[in-house]
Every structure is written in C-alpha cells, then in structure tokens.
Amino acid sequence: MSESEISREADAATLRALMGRPDYLRFWLSRVASTLGVQIQSVALGWQVYAVARETMDVAQSAFFVGMIGLAAFIPVFLLALPAGEAADRYDRKTILRLCYAAEIATALVLVAAAVFGFASLTLLLVLSAAFGASRAFMGPAGTALGPMLVPRSLLPRAIALNSLAWQGASIIGPAIGGLLVALAPAASYAGAAGLYLFALACIHGIRGNTRPEVNPGSRWALMKEGLAYVWTNKIVFGAISLDLVAVLLGGATALLPVFARDVLHVGPEGFGLLRASPAIGATLVAIYLARNPIRRRAGPVMFAGVAVFGLATIVFGLSTSLPLSVLALAVLGGADMLSVFVRQTLVQIVTPDAMRGRVAAVSSLFIGASNELGEFESGVVARFLGPVGAAVSGGVGAVLATGLWARLFPDLRKADRLE
C-alpha cells in the first residue's frame, strides 16, 4: 500500500471515529442547520429590502439600503462580541446556544408574518436585522468553543477541519437555497430558516456531555483584554482573520446580487436564484475535493492564492454583462472563498488553547462580521456613487492588492505549512 493510500485510510478511520461520537454528531448537524438558516434568512432580507425600496426609490438609493442591512446586523456584533466571548469562556456553552437558537426562531417567525400579512417596511426589516445580529454575536463564540469540548485531543485537528468545512459549506450553499426559495416568496425563505433553527435547537438540546468551561481567574474585563492581547501578539491568528476582514470587506460583490439580477443582467428573481446558487456550486466542488484530499503542506500560500483568485473573480463578475459568464465568475469566487477560509479557520483554531477559544472566537467573529456585514454596507455605499459595476470591480481590485500587502506584512502566515 502506498503512502498516499495509507494516509487516506487513516483519514477515513478518523472521520468514522468522529461521526461515531453522538454528542459531536449532534453538534455538527446543528452547525450545518443553523448556518444554512442564517444564510437563507440573510438572502431573503436582502431581496425584500431591495424590492421594498424600489417601490419609491431609484437603483442607487435602493442599493444603499441593501447595504444598510449589513450595518444594522454588524452594530450589535461590534458592541457584544467581546462580552459574548467572555460569556462563552464562563457559562455553559450549550445553554448559550439554546438561547440563541430560540431568538433566531422568533426573529424568523416575525419575518414570516410580515411577509404574509404585508406589513414589512424598511424600518422593521432593519430592526429585525439588528436583532438577528445580536443573536449571532453570542452564537459564534459559543459554537466555536463548544466543538473541541466534545472530542478527545487526538481527534481535535480533524474535528476542527470538519467544523470549518460544515460552517463554510453551509454558509455558501445556504445563499443558493435562499435565492431559490425567495423566487417563490420571501415567506418561504423565512419559514425554511425557522425550521432549520428548530432542528439545530433540538440537536444541541440532545448533547449530554459536559459543556461548561473551566473559568479562568480574573475580572470579565481582564479576561477580555487577555483575549485581545493573544490575537494581537499571535501573528498567524491576527494575519489570517484580518486578511479575511479586508478581502471580503472590499470584495463583497454578492451583497449586490439583487441589483445585478434586476437592473444589470435583467434576469429577475429566477436569475437571482441562479446567481445565488453559483458560488455554492464552486464551493461544493472545492469542499468535496478538500474532504478527499486534505491540505497537508503549504497551507499559507494556498490561503493567499485563494484570496487572490477571489478578488480576480469578483472583477470578472463586475464587468460581465452575460449571465453565463457571471455564473462562472461567481462559481470560481465561491470555490476560492471556500479554499481560503477553510485554511484560515483551521489554522486559527489549531493554534488557540482551549481556555481562550471563546474569546479568540469572539474576536474572529467580530472580524468576520465586519467583513460580511460591513462589506455589504461598503458595497451599498460605493454603489451609491460608482454604481453596482464600479462597486464590484473596485472591490475586487482592492482584494487582490490586499493579498499582496498581507503576504508582505505577515511572513509567518505566508510560510505556514501543515494544518496540524
């Protein structure tokens, strides 16, 4: 048997061992379901806000309000991220997740009612986006810190990789499902999200192992400062999460998909669903490849290459006036995003000690929230002045330039080799 065959057999045995642990399997399923729900709900919100705004506003003004969704969701993440991380290192992580899922269900049901009975307004949708963000501020750190508690140390690297794959896969497949559901009706998207949150809640409720962390001595403020200091001084962690912040902040073209579908490519809600599905196609293909051929060497260069391709694909999408070319560009964009973020998430979790996972995850979620929600806001603002095409192209150029700059600023990250 060759060395590669032995390695693949060992990977398969490790995967079977992980999935044979009921608590970890429940956690993993809850992670997939909740992330799918979050993404489906986000897509529906974007489409509905744009549709409501277009009733009384022009394209540029409506695109600005699509970006405002991201800002409304990011403000509570910014305000609550550090307390949420400290809470995840102090209180029962399963209980935190159960409360978060209950809040997500309530938000989704209000959106269903607003869509069905016709009382959705820009103000209501933005307020609900803020409530959505508050829940996610606590859900991210608690979920990231809980997973490693459910497996033995020997299985931790593979568990981290699977957790990252579940989150990233669902976060890109989710928008595709949301795009297809919103073509039917926004209420269908919100109802689907509520059902997924309910399933996630049931999975988390079924976990039987210990989910309460050992609390470090010190005040809450001292513990939060310790987490910030760790992220700042560990250049692999800081470089990885800040690169994601800058690249997605600048290259967030997917936030403008409602604008491109309706007023650039003129393909309507059906075309919007196809555009939303395209990143998922690329991401799924890359995820399948990574599951069968895990990255073993040169992790840093692979991550930087993924971010650079992400930026280039964003430029192509912004310049395209053809639906097939736009679909292809978005598929490449999704695959590159899956590759780079998979490496980043795995690197960050592997080098972080268990006692600090909640706080480091909080800082990471703050950066990720900034890149996603503020990226939507940035795209909306730039689209207000340069138009949607100018916003997408300039963002892609910025992502490519950021890749080169970060490779120079963080040599340890560039030289990162094994995901172990």
Annotate 39-61 with b (16+ C-beta within 10 A) or e (fewer).
Answer: bbbbbbbbbbbbbbbbeeeebbe
* The pLDDT of residue 9 is above 80: no
* The pLDDT of residue 76 is above 60: yes
Annotate 342-357 with b (16+ C-beta within 10 A) or e (fewer).
Answer: bbbbbbbbbebeeebb
* The pLDDT of residue 5 is above 60: no
Question: Where exactly are the structural domains of the chain?
Answer: 22-206+218-414
Number of H helices, E strands in the chain: 16, 0
**Mean pLDDT over each residue of the chain, to the nearest integer:** 79
pLDDT (0 to 100) of residue 388: 79
pLDDT (0 to 100) of residue 373: 59
**What does the DSSP assignment read for 217-250?**
SS-HHHHHHHHHHHHHH-HHHHHHHHHHHHHHHH
Please list, in sequence order, all residues whose beta carbon lies within 8 angstroms of the beta carbon of residue 387, skipping any fewer than 6 positions away: 60
**What does the DSSP assignment read for 381-408?**
HHHHHHHHHHHHHHHHHHHHHHHHHHHH
pLDDT (0 to 100) of residue 198: 95
**Could you tell me which CATH number the domain at 22-206+218-414 has?**
1.20.1250.20
Q: What is the mean pLDDT of residues 62-69?
A: 76
pLDDT (tens digit, 9 = 90+) per residue, 260-273? 887 788 887 778 77
90 to 87, 350, 357: CA distances (angstroms): 5, 21, 11
At 219, is the secondary structure helix, strand, or coil? Answer: coil
Give phi and psi for 295, each to the nearest 5: -70, 125
Q: What is the pTM of this model?
A: 0.67
pLDDT (0 to 100) of residue 325: 93
Predicted confidence band of residue 290 (pLDDT cuts 50, 70, 90): confident
Choose among 67, 139, 80: nearest CA to 107. Answer: 139
Contact 313, 369 (CB under 8 A): no
Q: What is the mean pLDDT of residues 209-237?
A: 72
Please list, in sequence order, all residues whose beta carbon lies within 8 angstroms of the beta carbon of residue 216, skipping any fewer than 6 positions away: 89, 223, 226, 355
Q: Average the pLDDT over each of 20-24, 120-124, 283-287, 370-374 and give the range with the smallest value.
A: 370-374
Q: Give the single-character DSSP code of 51.
A: H
